[in-house]
A and B are shown apart, each in its own frame.
Chain A
Amino acid sequence: MNNFPILTALVLVPAAGALVVALMSKRHPDIVKLAGVGFSVVTGALSIWVLGKFHTGGDGSFQLVSQHSWIKQWGIGWHLGIDGISLFLVVLTGILFPIALLGSDSHHDIKPYTAWILLLEAGVMGSFLSLDLFLFFVFFEIVLVPMYFLIGGWGYDKRVYAALKFFIYTMLGSAFMLVGILTTVFLAKAQLGHITFDLVELQKASFAVSTGRWLFLAFAIAFAVKVPIFPFHTWLPDAHTQAPTAGSVLLAGVMLKLGTYGLLRFSFGLFPEATRYFRPLFLTLGVIGILYGAIVATMQKDLKRVVAYSSVAHMGFIVLGAFAFTGQAVSGSVLQMINHGVSTGALFLLVGMISERRHTREISQLKGLQSVAPIFAGVFTLVMLSSIGVPGLNGFVGEFMILIGTFLTARWWTVVAAAGVILAALYLLWAYQRVFHGQPDEANKTFSELKLKEALVLAPLLGIIVFTGVYPKPMLDRIQPAVNKLVQHVDYPQPQSPIAAAEGGQ
Chain B
Amino acid sequence: MLSTLLASDVVAPFSSPKIDYHALAPELVLAGVIVAVLLADLFLEESKKWVLSTIAGFGLLAAFIPIVTLAVSGHRARSMFGGAYVVDTYSLLVKGIFLLAGYVVVLLSQNYLEEGDYYQGEYYFLLLSSILGMVMMGSSRDLVTIFVSLEFLSIPAYMLAAWRKRDLKSNEAGTKYYLLGVFASAVMLYGMSLLYGDTGTTILKGIGAKLQNGSMSPVAVLGIVFVIIGFAFKVSAVPFHNWAPDTYQGAPTPITAFLSVASKAAGFVALINLIYVAFPHGGDVFQPMIGVMAASTMTLGNVMALRQTNIVRMLAYSSISQGGFILMPLAVAGGKSSGNALTAIVTYLAVYAATNLGLFAVIIAVSRKTRSGEVSSWGGLFSYAPLLGVLATAFLASLAGIPPLGGWVAKFGAFRAVITSGTNWGYALAIVGAVNSVIAFGYYGSLMREIWMKPVPDGDTAPIRTPSSLNAALMICGGATLALGVVPGIILRFSDIIKL
- Whether B416 pairs with A74 at a CB distance below 8 angstroms is yes
Residues of A within 8 A of B442 (CB): 164, 168
> Do A182 and B415 have beta carbons less than 8 Å apart?
yes
Tell me if B419 is interfacial: C-beta within 8 Å of chain A. yes
1/0 contact trace for A445-478 toward B, CB 8 Å? 0000000000000000000000000000000000
- Over the window 155-199 of chain A, the binary record of Cβ atoms lying under 8 Å from chain B Cβ atoms (1 yes, 0 no) is 000011001100110011001101100110010000000000000
Q: How far is the CA of A138 from the CA of B412 in the complex (A)?
A: 11
Q: Determine the residue in chain B with the shortest Cβ distance to A184.
A: B419
The residues of B that contact A74 with a CB separation of less than 8 Å are 412, 416, 492
**A179-B430, A183-B419 known; A71+B489 contact, CB < 8 A:** yes
Nearest residue, chain A, Cβ from B497: A73
Task: Map CB proximity to A onto B417-428 as digits: 1 under 8 Å, 0 otherwise.
Answer: 001101000010
Given contacts A22-B390, A152-B449, is CB(A171)–CB(B438) below 8 Å?
Answer: yes
Please, how many angstroms separate the alpha-carbon atoms of A141 and B492 in the complex? 22
CB–CB A164/B445 < 8 A:
yes
Of all chain B residues, the one with the shortest Cβ separation from A26 is B386
- Please determine whether B419 and A186 come into contact, CB atoms closer than 8 angstroms: yes
Among residues 185 to 236 in chain B, which have CB atoms less than 8 Å away from a CB atom of chain A? none
State the CA gap A360–B438 with chains docked (Å): 35
Q: Would you call B419 and A179 a contact (CB within 8 A)?
A: yes
Is A145 an interface residue, CB under 8 A from the partner? yes
Q: Collect the chain A residues with CB atoms within 8 Å of residue B419's CB.
A: 179, 182-183, 186
Q: Which residues of B contact A168 (CB under 8 A)?
A: 438, 441-442
Q: Does residue B475 face the partner (Cβ distance < 8 Å to A)?
A: no
Q: In terms of DSSP, what is the predominant structure of the interface of chain B?
A: helix
Q: Name the one of A141, A152, A182 contacting B452, with C-beta atoms under 8 angstroms.
A: A152
Interface string of A85-110 (1 = CB under 8 A from B): 00000000000000000000000010
Measured CB to CB, the nearest residue on chain B to A189 is B420
Query: 1/0 per residue B448-466: CB within 8 Å of A?
Result: 1100110000000000000
B496 touching A73, Cβ below 8 Å: yes
In the complex, which residues of chain B have a beta carbon less than 8 angstroms from the beta carbon of A22?
A: 390
With A72-B489, A152-B452, A182-B419: A176-B434 Cβ-Cβ less than 8 Å: yes
Which residue in chain A gives the minimum CB-CB distance to B416? A182
Partner of A160, one of B402, B430, B449: B449
A144 touches B452 (CB 8 A): no
In chain A, what residue has the closest Cβ to B485? Answer: A138
B490 to chain A minimum Cβ distance, whole angstroms, is: 11
Which A residues are in CB contact (< 8 Å) with B448? 148-149
* Given known A171-B441, A186-B419, contact A112–B493 (CB-CB < 8 A): no
- In the complex, the answer to whether B438 meets A175 with C-beta atoms within 8 Å is yes
Check A175/B435 contact, CB under 8 A, given A73-B492, A153-B453. Answer: yes
Structural contact, B453 and A178, CB atoms closer than 8 A: no
Q: Which residue in B402, B408, B412, B489 is a CB contact (below 8 Å) of A144?
A: B402
0/1 string, B473-500, CB within 8 A of A gives 1: 0000000000000001100110010000
Could you tell me the distance between the alpha carbons of A140 and B364 in the complex, rounded to whole angstroms?
Answer: 33
**A186 vs B448: C-alpha distance when bound (angstroms):** 34
Closest Cβ of chain B to A192, distance in Å, is 14
Size category, A interface: 20 to 34
For residue B325, give the distance in angstroms from its CB to the closest CB of chain A.
13
Contacts of B449 in A (CB 8 A): 152, 160, 163-164
Task: Please indicate the chain B residues that have their CB under 8 angstroms from the CB of A65 in the complex.
Answer: none
With a CB–CB cut-off of 8 A, which chain A residues contact B415?
A: 178-179, 182
B492's nearest neighbour on chain A, judged by CB, is A73
Chain B contacts for A137, CB-based, 8 A: 403
B416 touches A186 (CB 8 A): yes
Question: What B residues does A163 contact at CB under 8 A?
Answer: 449, 453
- How far, in angstroms, from A141 to B402 measured CA to CA in the complex? 6
Contact between B489 and A142, CB atoms less than 8 A apart = no
CA distance A167 to B397 in the complex (A): 13
Cross-chain contact A160 with B403 (CB below 8 angstroms): no
Question: Which has the most chain B C-beta neighbours within 10 Å: A141, A175, A182?
Answer: A175
**B residues near A176, Cβ cutoff 8 Å:** 434
Q: Is B42 an interface residue (CB 8 A)?
A: no
Say yes or no: A175 contacts B437, CB within 8 Å. Answer: yes
Complex CA–CA separation, A160 to B452 (angstroms)? 10
Q: Which one of B412, B453, B489 lies within 8 Å of A159 (CB-CB)?
A: B453
Interface residue ranges of A59-79 to B (CB < 8 Å): 71-74
Contacts of A144 in B (CB 8 A): 402
Closest to B419 in A: A182
B445 lies within 8 A of A142 (CB): no
* Given known contacts A22-B390, A73-B492, A182-B416, A145 and B452 CB-to-CB distance under 8 angstroms: no
B382 at the interface (CB under 8 A from A): yes
With A152-B449, A178-B415, A186-B420 in contact, do A145 and B489 touch (Cβ < 8 Å)?
no
Asked whether B402 lies within 8 Å of A145 as measured between CB atoms, the reply is yes
CB distance from A378 to the nearest CB of B (A): 38
Please state if A153 and B438 are interface contacts (CB–CB under 8 Å): no
Q: Which A residues are CB-close (under 8 A) to B39?
A: none
Which of chain A's residues has its CB closest to B411's CB? Answer: A178
Smallest CB–CB gap between B343 and chain A, Å?
8
Contacts of A109 in B (CB 8 A): 383
A145 to B401, CA, bound (A): 12
Residues of A331-363 whose CB lies within 8 A of B: none
A169 to chain B, nearest CB (A): 9
Contact between chains at B404 and A142 (CB < 8 Å) = yes
Contacting residues, chain A, for B397 (C-beta < 8 A): 145
| Cβ distance B256 to chain A, nearest Cβ, rounded Å | 27
Contacts of A175 in B (CB 8 A): 434-435, 437-438
Please report the C-alpha to C-alpha distance between residue A144 and residue B408 in the assembled complex, in whole angstroms.
Answer: 15
Q: State the Cβ distance, B89 to closest chain A Cβ, in Å.
A: 15
Would you give the shortest CB distance from B344 to chain A, in whole angstroms? 11
Interface residues of B in 327-343 (CB under 8 A from A): none
Q: Residue on A with the closest CB to B421?
A: A186
B396 to chain A, nearest CB (A): 11
For residue A24, give the distance in angstroms from its CB to the closest CB of chain B. Answer: 11
The yes or no answer to B28 lying at the interface (CB within 8 A) is no
Chain A residues, Cβ within 8 Å of B382:
112
> A-facing mask of B266-308, CB < 8 A → 1, else 0?
0000000000000000000000000000000000000000000
A138: chain B residues at CB < 8 Å are: 403-404, 408
Task: Choose one: B431, B445, B489, B493; the contact of A179 (CB below 8 Å).
Answer: B431
* A73 contacts B453, C-beta separation under 8 Å: no
Inter-chain contacts of B390 with A (CB < 8 A): 22
| Cβ proximity bits A108-147 to B, threshold 8 Å, 1 near / 0 not | 0100100000000000000000000000011001101100
Set of chain B residues within 8 Å of A72, measured between Cβ atoms:
489
Hey, which chain A residues are within 8 Å of B493, CB to CB?
A: 73
Partner pick for B434 among A159, A179, A186, CB 8 A cutoff: A179
Are the CB atoms of B492 and A71 closer together than 8 Å? Answer: yes
B402, B430, B437: which contacts A182 (Cβ < 8 A)? B430
User: In the complex, A164→B449 CA distance in Å?
Assistant: 9
> Which single residue of chain B is at the shortest CB-CB distance from A164?
B445
12 of the cross-chain contacts (CB-CB < 8 Å) are: A71-B489, A73-B492, A109-B383, A112-B452, A137-B403, A138-B408, A148-B448, A152-B452, A164-B442, A167-B445, A182-B416, A186-B416
Enumerate chain A interface residues (CB-CB to B < 8 A). Answer: 22, 26, 71-74, 109, 112, 137-138, 141-142, 144-145, 148-149, 152-153, 159-160, 163-164, 167-168, 171-172, 175-176, 178-179, 182-183, 186
B interface residues, Cβ below 8 angstroms from A: 382-383, 386, 390, 397, 402-404, 408, 412, 415-416, 419-420, 422, 427, 430-431, 434-435, 437-438, 441-442, 445, 448-449, 452-453, 488-489, 492-493, 496
Q: A167-B441, A171-B437 are in contact. List 10 more A-B contacts (CB 8 A).
A: A138-B408, A144-B402, A148-B448, A149-B452, A153-B453, A168-B442, A171-B438, A178-B415, A182-B430, A183-B430
Which 4 pairs across A and B sit closest by C-beta, in order of nearness? Answer: A175-B434, A138-B403, A152-B453, A182-B419
